[in-house]
Amino acid sequence: MNILTRSFLLILFAFACTQSLAQTGLKGIEGKVLTEVMQPADAATVRLLHHPDSLLIATTISDKNGFFEFRDIKPGKYFIAINKLGYNKFYTLQYVVAEGSGNIKTPDVKLVPLNYQLKEVKVTAKKEFVEVRPDKTIINVEKSIVSAGNNMLDVLKNAPGVKVSGEEVLFKGGQKALIAINGKVTQLTGEQLAELLKSYNSSMVSSVELIGNPSAKYDAAGGGLINIVLKKNRDLGWRVSTTQSAAVGENYKFNSGINLNYRAKKVNLFGSYIFTASEVPRFWDVDRLITIGPNTSDYKMRYKGTTRLKSYTFNTGADWAVSPKQNIGFILHGYATPADIDKRNTTNIAYNGVPDSVITTRSGISRNIYNLNYNLNYRGFFGKDNKHVLSADMDYSDYNRRSDEELRNDFFNPAGVQVRDPLFYRVISPADINIYSAKIDYTRVLSSSGSVDAGVKVSKVNSDNRIDFNEQVDGNFQLVPGLTDHFVYKERIEAGYVNYHTKIGATDITAGLRAEQTHANRTSYNPNRVADTSYFNLFPSIQLIRGVGEKHQFTLSYNRRISRPNYQDLNPFVAYIDPYAFSTGNPFLKPQYVNYFELADTYLIKFKAALSFTATNDFYTTIYEQNNATGVYTTTKSNVANRHVYGLEITAPFDVTPWWQINSYFEFSHSRYFYKDENAGNKHAYDFLTQINQSFSITDKFKAEVNANYETPTYFGIKNYREQYYFSAGMSHIILHDQGTIRLAMSDIFNTQIDRYDTRYLNLNMRGREKPGTRFVTVTFNYRFGNSTLKAARKRTGGAAEELSRMGGSSNEN
């Protein structure tokens, strides 16, 4: 990879230098767009028009500093039109480009919010379901009917290029995604990420930003950034909205939520509360063959788990404008999720094709999870023209889990006659995780096209986990020493970064470097095992964006990232399925490192094609360790290979007619696995998946939507997966004087969203089938009242993101 990295950086350097030389002396028009509070207006659409016939010459988008420019302009008369959602369209005066003239710098443009217009004037702006930018893709969730009533974990399952595997959100080369809320990383993974995403209903979310190459400002963890943008409000006063949703199908789902916001001149108060209740099944079938000499053992496991879950989630806080340029705020976010899980498992065992025995396992779990997150934040602008920006976050998170399980095993012969006394177990498993985090970020605007960011962050994690595994003997429960344990994990990460943004000619350059020092101690007291590690890493990133002609924007990017295991993936506790099946964590699991390269072309700020290469060292995945002699297999995670992925992505939205739009996404990839175990043959596989969204505007108030998802057979980790496809559809109608909306949707219409796989890894000969409850008919009603243009709270989610993400349970839990 060193040769690849050096070669790629040389290409980047040559690319930048070539563009710098090529642009010397060219004519152009440049300027800056600001909001009503004189802050940079990023992502504004800027059009260069010919005067006086308004012929479109070129289009661009303002960058994060509000800067825009046009190059290679022929002599003539021009004017500029600027448009940004939520603001009035702005037209400049006429500019004359003459022979021999230099570049023209326009005065700064200050946009005016739409709510300043007269009430009699109705302004509408069309927002596409998918918006393609050179540096990210935006999914406007509020435009999706099928997403109505769903939580954000379900919504992400249909986001282009995103895969949800169990409770893991994967992005860019199948790596764990870095998750952010309103630009502030929350990085939850596993069980805690799932709980957080479930606490956000789709009605609260405006859009999802898919960023494949996040800058050094963000934590180095994760394979790309997924930023969830909550809905904005725009004026003084109050606003209340409520959403009610009910779903039936594979059992049921229900949620009820209310969101309140009040803003005075200097103070903004906000709060929300969501209650959810659901009962969702999960089916899991596993068939294993073990061959020793001439003899073959056959184990067929049939598992059904039903989770009855309630969730009480709240989010509250306040912002205070200390001065026109300084704000402080706090956020308190928390949830309680009591759950009852009923597990029923039957294992049929045969030797050489002859039925031998049947084991049934019944389990009841009572689980309670409580989580409180505290955030105190500050943001201030200093100096002339607000060129200095300082922000700070302090976070504390307290996570508590209590889980009590009662297990019973019964043993029968093939005729169904009980052959021995049942086995009874009682498992008590508490867990406490505390996370402390503090960070400071500084931005210096150097010029209309240049800025530098720098910052530091310190985080600390204490995770304390116990398991008391008891077996009933003569009517009394006694500890089982081999399954009882106490696991303590402590981690401290110190990080710093610098990020530089500039333009050389028509090439936009963002380059950064992040340094992270990690100290981690893992202690398992039974048996006494200690893994004490400390490592330092550098994570460079660079992105070049260059407009070519009037229609194309090319992007060349590279970054290096790390994916650390979830805390529970390190926990060596044993989860009991039946006497022949267990799952456990791996205290010696190492982080994996990812190098990601991409070359992309964005056409007409609408279509996008991207070529990518991802190299992952110490790739870890879920594996199965099987003891042929005893027949026992254990699910765990292990660093099994180095993995290379070559990919092609295409995003193509089309307007078939004014009332029929199609948004299509295609992904082609070729993966290669170089396994660390010399007895495992290296693997390679091809994959193709597509997601098609069709929306129909039947009338101004009545709309419909149809979604289709398809993936070919492929290979991931150690499993060969069969093809998968599923369809969803819905319709919506605006009612109650445009203040209410009712939606009807059906997910996984044909109940085909199933994971089917087999593996021949090492001594395994296994087939599996996993089917969660996915088919539901959902009715959602949304109603809003109060000031419909109320300004939103200043968006903060703190700096403990990456640590919180790893509080999630192991994907090996059952």
DSSP states of 386-408: G-EEEEEEEEEEEEEEEEEEEEE
pLDDT at 13 over 60: no
Mean pLDDT is lowest, of 74-88, 300-314, 375-389, 732-746, for: 74-88
Give the three-class secondary structure for 200.
Answer: coil
pLDDT at 546 over 60: yes
> How large is the average pLDDT for residues 228-243?
74
pLDDT band, very low/low/confident/very high, at 232 (cuts 50, 70, 90): low
Q: Could you tell me which residue, 384 or 688, shows the higher pLDDT?
A: 688
* pLDDT reported for residue 806: 63
Beta bridge partners of 333: 315, 373
Instruction: Give the closest residue to 154 by CA, choosing from 794, 650, 776.
Output: 776
* pLDDT reported for residue 130: 79
* pLDDT reported for residue 341: 96
pLDDT band, very low/low/confident/very high, at 159 (cuts 50, 70, 90): confident
Cβ contact 508:544 at 8 Å:
yes
Burial class (CB in 10 A: 0-12, 13-18, 19+), 149: buried
> How large is the average pLDDT for residues 131-141?
82
Instruction: Give the closest residue to 179 by CA, choosing from 804, 809, 814, 812.
Output: 804
Q: Could you tell me which residue, 493 or 531, shows the higher pLDDT?
A: 493
The pLDDT tens digits for 510-533 are: 999 999 999 999 999 988 888 888
pLDDT at 147 over 80: no
Full 3-state SS string of 580-600: CEEEECCCCCCCEEEEEEEEE
pLDDT at 97 over 70: yes
* pLDDT reported for residue 591: 94
List, in sequence order, every beta strand (DSSP E) within 73-222.
76-83, 90-91, 95-97, 104-105, 109-110, 130-132, 137-139, 162-165, 168-171, 175-176, 178-181, 184-185, 205-211
* pLDDT reported for residue 74: 79
pLDDT at 617 over 90: yes
- Single-letter amino acid code for the residue at 724: Q
The dihedral through the CA atoms of 208, 211, 214, 220 has a sign that is: positive
pLDDT at 71 over 90: no
Mean pLDDT is lowest, of 121-125, 181-185, 514-518, 781-785, for: 121-125
* pLDDT reported for residue 790: 44
**CB under 8 Å, gap of 24 or more: what pairs does 123-126 form?**
123/88, 125/85
Average pLDDT, the chain: 85
Helix (H) or strand (E) holding 569: helix 567-570
* pLDDT reported for residue 791: 47
Cβ contact 273:314 at 8 Å:
yes
Instruction: Give the closest residue to 565 by CA, choosing from 163, 164, 210, 168.
Output: 168
Round to whole Å and give the CA distance between 98 and 102. Answer: 9
Beta bridge partners of 439: 393, 457
Burial class (CB in 10 A: 0-12, 13-18, 19+), 294: exposed
Cβ contact 623:640 at 8 Å:
yes
Round to whole Å and give the CA distance between 618 and 627. Answer: 24
pLDDT at 289 over 50: yes
Alpha-carbon separation of residue 447 from 31, 75, 512, 524 (angstroms): 11, 27, 18, 54
Radius of gyration of the chain (CA): 28
* pLDDT reported for residue 4: 44
* pLDDT reported for residue 803: 57
User: pLDDT > 90: what percent of the chain?
Assistant: 51
The pLDDT tens digits for 34-68 are: 887 777 888 888 888 877 666 778 778 888 778 88
* pLDDT reported for residue 529: 85
pLDDT band, very low/low/confident/very high, at 189 (cuts 50, 70, 90): low
Q: Structure tokens of 450?
A: 């240049």
pLDDT at 240 over 70: yes
Instruction: Give the closest residue to 233 by CA, choosing from 262, 258, 257, 207.
Output: 262
pLDDT at 308 over 80: yes
Q: Could you tell me which residue, 703 or 127, shows the higher pLDDT?
A: 703
pLDDT band, very low/low/confident/very high, at 100 (cuts 50, 70, 90): low
The dihedral through the CA atoms of 217, 218, 221, 226 has a sign that is: negative
Cβ contact 676:641 at 8 Å:
yes
Q: Give 415's contacts (C-beta < 8 A, 6+ positions apart).
A: none
pLDDT at 169 over 80: yes
> How large is the average pLDDT for residues 82-111?
78
Q: Best-predicted range by mean pLDDT among 265-269, 544-548, 635-639?
A: 635-639
User: pLDDT > 70: what percent of the chain?
Assistant: 88
Helix (H) or strand (E) holding 486: strand 485-504
> How large is the average pLDDT for residues 437-444?
94
> How many other C-beta atoms are found inside a 10 Å radius of the C-beta of residue 226?
24
- Whether omega before 52 lies within 30 degrees of 0, making that bond cis, reads yes
Cβ contact 129:654 at 8 Å:
no
Q: Give 609's contacts (C-beta < 8 A, 6+ positions apart).
A: 600, 601, 603, 648, 649, 650, 651
Please compute, for residue 766, the number of CA atoms within 13 A of its CA located in the half-sphere on the CB side: 25
